Amino acid sequence: MIEEALREISRGTAEIIDNERIEKLLKAYFEEGKGYTVKAGFDPTAPDLHLGHTVLLQKLAVFQKYGARVQFLIGSFTATIGDPTGKSATRKVLTKQEIIHNIDSYTTQAFKILDESKTDIVYNDDWLGNMTAADMIALASNLTVARMLERDDFSKRYASNTPIAVSEFMYPLLQGYDSVHLKSDIEIGGTDQKFNLLMGRQLQKAYETKKQQAVLMMPILEGLDGVQKMSKSLGNYIGVSDEPKDMFGKTLSISDELMWRYYELLSSKSLDEIDALKAGVEDGSLHPKKVKEELALEITTRFHDKAAAQAAKEEFERVHAKSQIPTDIEEFTINAESLWIAQALVDCKLEPSTSQARRDIKQGGVKINQEKVTDMNLQLNAGEYLLQVGKRKFAKLRVD
Amino acid sequence: MIEEALREISRGTAEIIDNERIEKLLKAYFEEGKGYTVKAGFDPTAPDLHLGHTVLLQKLAVFQKYGARVQFLIGSFTATIGDPTGKSATRKVLTKQEIIHNIDSYTTQAFKILDESKTDIVYNDDWLGNMTAADMIALASNLTVARMLERDDFSKRYASNTPIAVSEFMYPLLQGYDSVHLKSDIEIGGTDQKFNLLMGRQLQKAYETKKQQAVLMMPILEGLDGVQKMSKSLGNYIGVSDEPKDMFGKTLSISDELMWRYYELLSSKSLDEIDALKAGVEDGSLHPKKVKEELALEITTRFHDKAAAQAAKEEFERVHAKSQIPTDIEEFTINAESLWIAQALVDCKLEPSTSQARRDIKQGGVKINQEKVTDMNLQLNAGEYLLQVGKRKFAKLRVD
């Protein structure tokens, strides 16, 4: 059981620091039923969430499956004092009420993934709000300026003479102090958070919290293009409040390679189940498109429900089928004032004879501009037409 | 009057920033009787003060003469939270009670220079102690890391990889904030404080204090050697709690050049009076030693009283006279069981004849080991003797 848990926990991770601690926590859980805590920080500005944001939530859900209580930490302290860095001077200072409102809509989404009964939502202004300047200075004594400037973004900004406000040095310290206050056993975050995540370990040591947190970093999710990170501004995202049909359709649009990546980071299927799917694709018993549909159904069901997902699938198939028009259709131009439809089909080589054409029209197998032809005597006047016989045969006709 | 005041205020200064502000304040004082404030910060650890520390106090006294209230700021905030930089981890955290006790002994000395009725002793933990972490962060947003690292000592330490705790960046900000809180019109400090003094101006601007403080910097006082800065550890200092005789004697030991420097920075004599002394020395009507004695008397009187200073002067003259023994005294060795004093004086070429020697002994003009000889028949046994005739003639005699 522990092995399976460790496999699911390490699944898709970019880096784990102090894996031994995680093993010990799991051992204590499986052998003695002891719980432990996993902290993750969230921004209370409640952006429009997309699947990239849910990678962490999926991992937290895995931890919950294996005995963890999740410390769903809201970084409300910064929001209530405003961002004083000057970088975004216009950022509005949020009241606690506004934050709670934002978080409410956030957690409504999050609890589609997380187990609410195993989640503690905590607001760090509850303890940081009571912190004095003296406490803050004592906290800041735990880190050197040189070490702070090693942080990737700081070092780049310092090197390029982009101003860094002294106050910006406080935020990693505060994030680390949250782990001291919460006595977190594990903290998870994105790879871009490594410095801040390690700060938690360092400060827990300085403040003599009994044990230092393990750190688990998740990679940044690629967007639909499979290259850039998923982001609203790049337009390559699946939003968690997207309509079912968009959610389903966008998922089907990704490459097979990216599909496996999404399975690893976003699916609730176990690694064994995923391995079975992979094997099926490899031995030809499963079409990759079917596997992709299954992923699309899972994701759509998560943020809507099974019925909505199924409806999305059917709608997609209908629309998709409708628009299943080859891109390399042969074009014909016929000079005539008007042209009988059966003759047109023969001229465009879609039918061998006008009699066959009439039979097909009668059976509803002929379309013009994707609309069924019902009038066997239809005359085409000057204009352009997309002719279709059955599912596969197309022609473009210009009459003038 | 304003011109004289400005002259006395700028006397001996290393640098003044915003002299125009000082002129306006003086103008308002002389024309409308309007007061203003001059801030100076002091360390509550109450070191053994020496004259180097009093340079600032002398300048504050000058300001008091021209309408200023002195804001005698005790940096009690840091002392009560301890120095968290790790640089001096063993530094004891002081209680407010201990600080008040220290400051009491400090101000007892300071009020020998300052006018107590024009001095407000203020403790910055009174306002900084109530500051929240959020306030601290807002304060820290007013300065960039790059600007902070321009500070001379920080830049050197950063360049040499000597750790700088992030908390150390807070202190200049707090010192600057004191000026915001106190709405100081002028701040004075040593040249080594320039960065912190300017921080007061910057923060007063950021916090929209009505006007920015002018800054006046005093040089670091040279020690008795005239080269190194006066410091306890270098042993080149005059302590304000030195005994009168040491205070007087140490002052007399300085060079003539340094004497004028001390007049400029330490004397309460006006520039006109000092110019008169200089003129006297230049035209030969005053001996430099007399001028130096006058300085020694002034300093000794300041920290003791007139009678003690006068007594110190007399004691100094007595001891000094007593010990006025040349260093290059001729040495003689005579083999004898014992030697008559008159013969010894002749043998050592101090007297032309034993009869002359006897006459001088009778008149009290002969000394052995700095004690008058009264016994004309004295026999010198084996041993070493310092023989002296009159004030000028010496010999060392070894009888064996």
Residue B307 and residue B342 in one domain: no
Q: Is B188 helix (H, G, I), strand (E, B) or coil?
A: strand
CATH number of the domain where residue A25 is located: 3.40.50.620
Tell me whether residues B132 and A137 touch, CB distance under 8 A.
no
| Residue A271 structural domain | 244-321
A207 CB near a chain B CB, below 8 Å? no
Residue A262 and residue A378 in one domain: no
pLDDT more than 90, % of chain B: 69
Supply the pLDDT for residue A86: 43
* Segment A296-337, tens digit of pLDDT: 999 999 999 999 999 999 988 887 766 667 667 889 999 988
A85 falls in which pLDDT band (50, 70, 90)?
Answer: very low
Find the mean pLDDT for residues B308-336: 82
Find the mean pLDDT for residues A93-101: 80
Supply the pLDDT for residue A323: 60
Comparing CA positions, the residue from B157, B229, B159, B141 lying closest to residue B192 is: B229
Find the mean pLDDT for residues A183-206: 94
* Segment A114-126, tens digit of pLDDT: 999 999 999 999 9
Look at residue B81 and tell me whether its pLDDT is greater than 70: no
**Residue that finishes a domain, picked among A218, A253, A283:** A218
Supply the pLDDT for residue A305: 94
Q: At residue A61, what are phi and psi to the nearest 5 degrees?
A: -65, -35
Does residue A231 lie in a domain region? no
Look at residue A391 and tell me whether its pLDDT is greater than 80: no
Place of tokens 């002394």: B277
Find the mean pLDDT for residues A11-15: 96
Look at residue B330 and tell me whether its pLDDT is greater than 50: yes
Of the listed ranges A376-380, B24-28, B40-44, B174-178, the least confidently predicted one is: B40-44
Look at residue B327 and tell me whether its pLDDT is greater than 70: no
Of the listed ranges A127-141, A181-195, A261-275, B74-88, the least confidently predicted one is: B74-88
Tell me whether residues B167 and A137 touch, CB distance under 8 A.
yes
Look at residue A90 and tell me whether its pLDDT is greater than 60: no
Supply the pLDDT for residue B59: 97
Which residues are CB-contacts of B294 (< 8 A; sequence separation ≥ 6)? Answer: B277
Of the listed ranges A86-95, B222-231, B243-252, the least confidently predicted one is: A86-95
Say if CB A330 and CB A345 are below 8 A apart: no
Look at residue B366 and tell me whether its pLDDT is greater than 60: yes
Residue A345 and residue A266 in one domain: no
Domains contained in chain A, number: 3
User: In this structure, which amino acid lies at residue B307?
Assistant: A
Supply the pLDDT for residue A88: 43
Residue B350 and residue B301 in one domain: no
Look at residue B116 and tell me whether its pLDDT is greater than 80: yes
Comparing CA positions, the residue from B114, B102, B105 lying closest to residue B75 is: B102
Residue A336 and residue A213 in one domain: no
B6 falls in which pLDDT band (50, 70, 90)?
Answer: very high
Cα–Cα dist B239/B369, whole Å: 33
Gyration radius (Cα) of chain A, Å: 29
B162 CB near a chain A CB, below 8 Å? no
Does residue B226 lie in a domain region? no
Look at residue B85 and tell me whether its pLDDT is greater than 50: no
Compute the mean pLDDT over every residue in chain B, rounded to the nearest whole number: 90
Residues of A within 8 A of B161 (CB-CB) are: 146
Residue A298 and residue A351 in one domain: no
Query: Is A232 one of the annotated binding-site residues?
Result: yes
Supply the pLDDT for residue A98: 82
* Segment A263-307, tens digit of pLDDT: 999 999 999 999 999 999 999 999 999 999 999 999 999 999 999
| H-helix segments, B66-169 | 76-81, 96-110, 125-128, 133-140, 145-148, 152-159
Q: Which candidate from B135, B140, B170 shows the least CB-CB separation from A165?
A: B140
Which residues are CB-contacts of A160 (< 8 A; sequence separation ≥ 6)? Answer: none
Residue B202 and residue B295 in one domain: no
Does residue B224 lie in a domain region? no
Comparing CA positions, the residue from B117, B124, B121, B106 lying closest to residue B54 is: B106
Tell me whether residues A133 and B138 touch, CB distance under 8 A.
no
Supply the pLDDT for residue A89: 43
CATH number of the domain where residue B357 is located: 3.10.290.10
Residue B354 and residue B375 in one domain: yes
Does residue B229 lie in a domain region? no
Tell me whether residues B85 and A141 touch, CB distance under 8 A.
yes
How many CA atoms, within 13 angstroms, populate the side-chain half-sphere of residue A190? 10
Residue B55 and residue B114 in one domain: yes
Would you call B242 exposed, middle or buried from its count of C-beta atoms within 10 A (0-12, 13-18, 19+)?
buried
Q: Is B356 helix (H, G, I), strand (E, B) or coil?
A: helix
Does residue A76 lie in a domain region? yes
Look at residue B86 and tell me whether its pLDDT is greater than 70: no
Supply the pLDDT for residue B91: 53
Cα–Cα dist B73/B75, whole Å: 6
Q: Which candidate from B80, B135, B144 shows the least CB-CB separation from A165?
A: B144
Look at residue B379 and tell me whether its pLDDT is greater than 80: yes
Does residue B89 lie in a domain region? yes
Look at residue B210 and tell me whether its pLDDT is greater than 90: no
From the CB of residue B115, how many other CB atoms can be counted at a distance below 10 Å? 14
Q: Is B311 helix (H, G, I), strand (E, B) or coil?
A: helix
Of the listed ranges A350-354, B20-24, B87-91, B149-153, the least confidently predicted one is: B87-91
Tell me whether residues B148 and A135 touch, CB distance under 8 A.
no
Find the mean pLDDT for residues A183-195: 94
Residue A376 and residue A313 in one domain: no
DSSP string, A87-127: TTTTPPPPPHHHHHHHHHHHHHHHTTTS-GGGEEEEETHHH
Does residue B228 lie in a domain region? no
Question: Best of B88, B141, B143, B169 to disrupt the A interface by mutation (most A CBs within 10 Å)?
Answer: B141
CATH number of the domain where residue A267 is located: 1.10.240
pLDDT more than 70, % of chain A: 95
A47 falls in which pLDDT band (50, 70, 90)?
Answer: low
Look at residue B5 and tell me whether its pLDDT is greater than 80: yes
* B residues 57-86 lying closer than 8 A (beta carbon) to A: 77, 80-82, 84-86
- Torsion over CA of B144, B147, B148 and B150, rounded to 10 degrees? 160
* Segment B136-192, tens digit of pLDDT: 999 998 889 999 998 888 999 999 998 898 988 998 999 999 999 999 999 999 998
**Residue that finishes a domain, picked among A287, A321, A355:** A321
pTM of the model: 0.74
Residues of B within 8 A of A169 (CB-CB) are: 140, 145, 166, 169
* Segment B262-283, tens digit of pLDDT: 999 999 999 999 999 999 999 9
Say if CB B348 and CB B332 are below 8 A apart: yes
**Residue that finishes a domain, picked among B321, B349, B381:** B321
Quick check: ipTM above 0.95? Answer: no
Does residue B103 lie in a domain region? yes
Look at residue B48 and tell me whether its pLDDT is greater than 80: no
Residue A297 and residue A371 in one domain: no
Tell me whether residues A81 and B128 touch, CB distance under 8 A.
no
Supply the pLDDT for residue A84: 47
Residue A211 and residue A279 in one domain: no
From the annotation, which residues of B make up the binding site for ATP?
232
Element (DSSP H or E) covering residue B393: strand B393-399
* Segment A19-44, tens digit of pLDDT: 999 999 999 999 999 999 999 998 87
